[in-house]
Each structure stands twice: as structure tokens, then as C-alpha cells.
Amino acid sequence: MVLRIKNRKSFVFFRILVTSFVFFTFPASSFSDEHIPQHLIDIWWACRYESKEFKRINVVVDVNGNLEQGKYIYIAPLGKIQINGFDFYGGIQTDIYGWKSKFERSVRKYSNGGIFSKWSKEGQEIDDSSVSGFDGTIYEIANYEGTFASVRNQFRLVDGRYIYSISSKHIDGEYWLEASVIDPDKIDQKIGLISVGKSKPQISGNIASFFEVYGKGFKIPNGLKITYHQPSVDGTPCNSTPTTISPKYSGYNYSHKIIKYYTNNKLEVIYNE
């Protein structure tokens, strides 16, 4: 099976002022999965870019908690970013699925892993020539949540610090974005590559991050803690105040279950049933 994940591009906002990183604590939860997929927190980093060329974008995220297979948790340091007019997102998931190759389109299931995806511009199609990978990379190209292409790869999620990174690569006259994750053991886990065409990559607008549950039967581990640090572009940190929200979907709002505290330049969020 391939999980049908909707509304990836929908973000709503209200303003809460914090500084350089965002810290969340989630007690064990068992709220209804009727509204899956559900963003529990969205973060819009306030620094705004105007067609800025770049070589590498990094977002650091600290994870403490049990993220074994079957939790259906998605931690997205790059929840939305626009490059050369295309929308991208990427992060780490407890459960990933995809085709064994671009051409052998049978579904392969992994446990933990990383993901990187690109949406087409409105009215345009994306074909398999726009994605490439490494050993173990799996793929999906579909149109059930807008037209998108995605690369994913497997690695184990443990407690510690992850650096989610996209870097510009020039290959055979074309520019590609290579997605990778430096894991807590300092291993560079390669996810895959997605083409951005003949022009050098340029970022426009704001970068967003999010935390999501995306599968029926999901479970947030007891005491799960997530800290999103500010993005950096070519080594320069964002250095600005983000906006955070608890989105409202399908007429149900989880914000009344989330308590936020401001301490030591961080926002601590506690989920209470």
C-alpha cells in the first residue's frame, strides 16, 4: 500500500513570538485519527528570501523519544520551501513506502527513513527523469495530493541530533538538489536527488517546518521531544522570529490541547489530552 497523504501544502497562521529554535514535548496521546493526516505544529521562519542562489540549506532537529515503525510520525525540518518556482518538502518519517525503482513500480515498505518531494507547477506534469537516487532509494510519482515526485531512503531513527540538508549539484548540464541527513552517529544518510532544471537553484519566500501524524493507528510516544533549530542558508542562520500554529482541519482544532511556554529562547509545547 502507499499512504495517501493530503493537504501537505495547506498552512494557516496565528502569531507567537519566539527566537532561534522551537522545542516541543508531547505526552502519550490517543486522540481520534479521523482527521489524518494532521499537522500538530507548523512553523514559519520569518526570514524571507528573494531569489537567493544557494549551495546548501541545513535545518537541525533534535529528537528524543521512541520513533519505531508503526508510529506514523513525520518530522519535517523543511516542511515547505520554494526553489526555482517549485515547492519542496523533506524530513524524517517512522514509516516510508515507495516503488523499488523508477521503472519497477511495485511498492516497497521500509521502517524509518528520510523523504524529499517536489510538486509540479500548476498544470505541468512531472516524469521519472526528474528524480534520481542512491543505493536503496525508493520513489513515487503521483497526483493524489497535487502532482509530485518523491525520493525516500531508509535509515534508523534514534535519539539525538539530525541535520537535514539539501545541496545543489550540477550534473550533465542540469541542476539537482541532493537531500541527505547527518544522523546522531555522524553518518551522512543519502536520500535522493530531484532536478530543478537548467538554472542554478534559487530560494524564494519563507521556509516552513512541521510535525505531523499521517497514518491511522498512529501513536505519539510518551514524552517525545522535538527541537527545530532555525534554518541556515550557506552557513548563515535565519536569525529571525518564527510564527507557530496548531492548524485546524475538518472542523476540529487541536490547539486547545497544546500548551506553550517561553523559556531560555525556546518555545516548549506540551500536548495534553
In this predicted structure, what is the pLDDT of residue 250?
Answer: 41
Q: pLDDT 10s digit of each residue in the chain, 273 long?
A: 333 334 444 443 333 334 467 766 666 554 555 667 788 788 888 888 999 999 999 999 988 888 889 999 999 999 999 999 999 999 999 999 999 898 888 888 888 999 999 999 877 888 899 999 999 999 999 887 788 999 999 999 999 999 999 999 999 999 999 999 999 999 999 999 999 999 999 999 999 988 888 887 787 777 788 888 889 999 998 877 677 766 654 444 445 555 544 444 344 555 444
Domain count within the chain: 1
Which DSSP string do the residues of 43-82 spell out, in sequence order?
A: EE----EEEEE-SEEEEEEEEES---TTS-EEEEEEEEEE
In this predicted structure, what is the pLDDT of residue 246?
Answer: 63
In this predicted structure, what is the pLDDT of residue 21?
Answer: 73
Torsion over CA of 60, 62, 66 and 69, rounded to 10 degrees?
0
Tell me whether residue 1 is in a domain. no
Tell me whether residue 16 is in a domain. no
Q: How many beta carbons lie within 10 A of that of residue 232, not counting itself?
A: 17
In this predicted structure, what is the pLDDT of residue 10?
Answer: 41
Tell me whether residue 123 is in a domain. yes
Tell me whether residue 162 is in a domain. yes
In this predicted structure, what is the pLDDT of residue 29?
Answer: 53
Instruction: Give the DSSP letter of residue 144.
Output: B
Tell me whether residue 193 is in a domain. yes
In this predicted structure, what is the pLDDT of residue 35?
Answer: 64
Domain limits at 63?
Answer: 21-271
In this predicted structure, what is the pLDDT of residue 17?
Answer: 35
Coil, strand or helix at 256: helix
Tell me whether residue 94 is in a domain. yes
**pLDDT tens digits, 31-60:** 555 667 788 788 888 888 999 999 999 999
Please tell me the distance from the alpha carbon of residue 228 to that of residue 161, in angstroms, as a whole number.
Answer: 10
